[in-house]
Amino acid sequence: MLWWALAFFLVAVVAAILGFAGIATGLAAIAEILFYVFLALFVLSLLAYFFMGGRRSAV
């Protein structure tokens, strides 16, 4: 679960760089939305990891 949290965080950072820095000017709005979506997934993954006590899921 921690690996998923790290992956979501990295995608959120890339989306933030593209959206907020104006690198992808045509897609800036989409990149900003993706930033918030993946940031939320990152937080949810971290919470799930801590509530599970660091145990790996069966799936």
Contact assessment for residue 15 and residue 31, using Cβ atoms and an 8 Å cutoff: yes
Q: Which residue has the higher pLDDT, 57 or 18?
A: 18
According to the model, what pLDDT value does residue 53 have?
75
According to the model, what pLDDT value does residue 32 have?
79
Tell me which DSSP letter residue 49 carries. H
The number of CA neighbours under 13 Å toward the Cβ of 23 is 10
Q: What's the sign of the alpha-carbon dihedral 48, 52, 54, 56?
A: negative
Give the pLDDT mean for 14-23.
77
Give the pLDDT mean for 39-49.
88
According to the model, what pLDDT value does residue 26 have?
73
57: left (phi over 0), alpha (psi -120 to 50) or beta: beta
Q: What's the sign of the alpha-carbon dihedral 47, 51, 56, 59?
A: negative
